[in-house]
Structure formats: structure tokens, C-alpha cells
Amino acid sequence: MDAVQDEAAGKRARGLDRAFEILDFLRHKRQALKPNEIAAQIGAPRSSVYELVNLLLRNGILEFTGGEGRVYLGRKLYFLGAAYENHFDFTRECEATLEHLADETRETAQFCMLDGNKYTVVRMREGARPFRISTDIGQSVPIPWTASGRLLVAHLSDQEILNFIPPEDFRLPSSEWLEPQTFIAEVRHAEREGFFTFNSIVDSFTHCFAVPVRDDEGHIAGTLCLVTPRDDGLANRDRYLACLKKAAADLNQTPTRQKRA
């Protein structure tokens, strides 16, 4: 009897994992797809994907859109996200901080976090420059491609970093290979300095700044970033870093967080 129950529990767990895989896949694709297209692209049995898609449709997690049976993320996810934001103060508190940073520096300001073993921009405010620098909010990017990545994995040991980051993510957009040990050395440098800056690996025209934002227990929960035109970033490096560090310190000391702590 116990073996039967364990098997049933295992099937439910695998089904739940597959459902999250479907949701993550649609989020990354950013387009509505037919269930058979989803099954083919994630390498899953059509029957199980159809069953899970119907379950997610019934619960509003997915919705039909675009015709011909295509499905995409449903509106219930918006309400779940809103409930999460209401509980998780960081994202709401960051809105005012990013607005102030963008006004003060005239540069694009971002709040970034880890999404599994990838980096993502959670909130952003564009600067006042005619030259616009923008990033798709919620888009997953390999950690080694980012300034923030050097800070977001600093709590891990060297071996844990190698286990955490997929090996293929050390292949840069230029097709150059970033040696993992070079990346780890940069992580340790960022950890000691409390910030990281570099000429962007993704965009040859920009310079990136990142400082840590810590949770109530002192762990790095995210980063505040500035993305600037390369020449301006290098010319204003000290001032921009000072603005970022002050903003992160103020964010860590906001009244709602002090009350919660």
C-alpha cells in the first residue's frame, strides 16, 4: 500500500514540475503556442502536456489567445503576482528609489534579482537622456553576462557557483568563452568591494554599475543598477557609485522594513 501511495505522490510531483516547466517555457517564449508545439519544444509527451494545459486552463493559470487553440499565461498569474508584491516589500519600495536614481543621474536605473539560475530585471526606470537604454523586464539572462551576477552569487562557495551556473552560460554573446575561474575571481572582488562595474558584455555601448540590496537578515536579495552610455559611465564613475550606495543604504533602512524586522 505504501509503495502505491509513494508512486502516486511521485507522479503528482512530476506533474507539478511539468506544469511549472510549461509556465516557464511560455514566459521565456513570450508568445502563445499550441499544446502540441509546447510538448515538442520541451520534449514532453503530448498526452501529459494536453492534460496539464487543460488543468491550467480550468484554473485560469493559462488562457486561450491568438486562435487555433493557442494558450498563454492567464490573468490569475497577475493576481498572484500582485499578492506577492503586497507581501514582499522590496519591489514596491524600489519604485521610489529607482525614480530618484534616474532623476539624480539621468541614467537608466534597475532593480535586479536571481530567477532560478538566471538574472532578471524586476523593476526599471529610464533616464532623461535622449539616448534610451532599456531592458525587457522579466527576461532571463545568463548570470556571467551581468555586473549584478557577480554580487548575486557571492554568498556561494566557488564550487557551488560552478554547480549553480550552467556551463553553457559562460559562453558570451560574442561567442567568446569566459573562464569560470575568471568569473569567480570577479565575484570575490565584487564581494570585497561591495560593488561591481564593467563595460557591458551584452551591449558594447554601455557601462554597468551594481551594488547589493540586502534583506532583513543581511543576505543579498537583489541589486540596484545603473546602465549608462560607456563614456558617461566612466567619466562619472565615482559619483554614480556614491548615488547607488546611498540609495541601497536608504532602501535597507526604509520604515516598512524596519517595522517588519
Catalogue the E-assigned strands of 36-107. Answer: 62-64, 71-73
Q: Which residues contact 39 (CB under 8 A, 6 or more apart)?
A: 45, 46, 48, 49, 50
Among 116, 144, 134, residue whose Cα is nearest residue 25: 116
Least trusted range by pLDDT, from 30-44, 150-164, 227-241, 243-257: 243-257
Copy the grid coordinates of residue 231.
Answer: 563614456
Query: 205 vs 261, which has greater pLDDT?
Result: 205
Among 19, 137, 12, residue whose Cα is nearest residue 74: 19
d(CA 126, CA 134): 7
Name the H helices within 88-223: 89-105, 149-152, 158-164, 180-193
> Does the predicted model carry a pTM greater than 0.75?
no
Average pLDDT for residues 103-132, to the nearest whole number? Answer: 87
Domain 88-260 has CATH 3.30.450.40: yes
Phi-psi region of 47 (alpha: psi -120 to 50; beta: other; left: phi over 0): alpha
Q: Cβ distance 151 to 210 under 8 Å? A: yes
Q: What is the DSSP letter of 23?
A: H
Instruction: Give the model's confidence band at 128: pLDDT under 50 very low, under 70 low, under 90 confident, else very high.
Output: confident
At the topology level of CATH, where does 2-78 sit?
A: Arc Repressor Mutant, subunit A (1.10.10)
Least trusted range by pLDDT, from 88-97, 224-233, 238-247: 88-97
Instruction: Give the model's confidence band at 188: pLDDT under 50 very low, under 70 low, under 90 confident, else very high.
Output: very high
Phi-psi region of 175 (alpha: psi -120 to 50; beta: other; left: phi over 0): left
Decide the pairing of beta strands 206-214 and 71-73: unpaired
* Residue extent(s) of CATH 1.10.10.10 domains in the chain: 2-78
Q: Which amino acid is at 119?
A: Y
d(CA 65, CA 142): 30
Among 96, 145, 143, residue whose Cα is nearest residue 123: 96
Q: Is 219 exposed, middle or buried, given 0-12, 13-18 or 19+ CB atoms closer than 10 A?
A: exposed
Least trusted range by pLDDT, from 26-30, 35-39, 51-55, 127-131: 127-131
C-beta atoms surrounding 72 within 10 Å: 16
pLDDT over threshold 90, residue 5: no
* Residue extent(s) of CATH 3.30.450.40 domains in the chain: 88-260
Packing angle between helix 89-105 and helix 76-87, nearest 10 degrees? 80
**Chain centre to alpha carbon of residue 192:** 23
Instruction: Give the model's confidence band at 72: pLDDT under 50 very low, under 70 low, under 90 confident, else very high.
Output: very high
Average pLDDT for residues 161-173, to the nearest whole number? Answer: 96
Instruction: Give the model's confidence band at 7: pLDDT under 50 very low, under 70 low, under 90 confident, else very high.
Output: low
Confidence at residue 14, expressed as pLDDT on a 0 to 100 scale: 83
Average pLDDT for residues 120-146, to the nearest whole number? Answer: 81
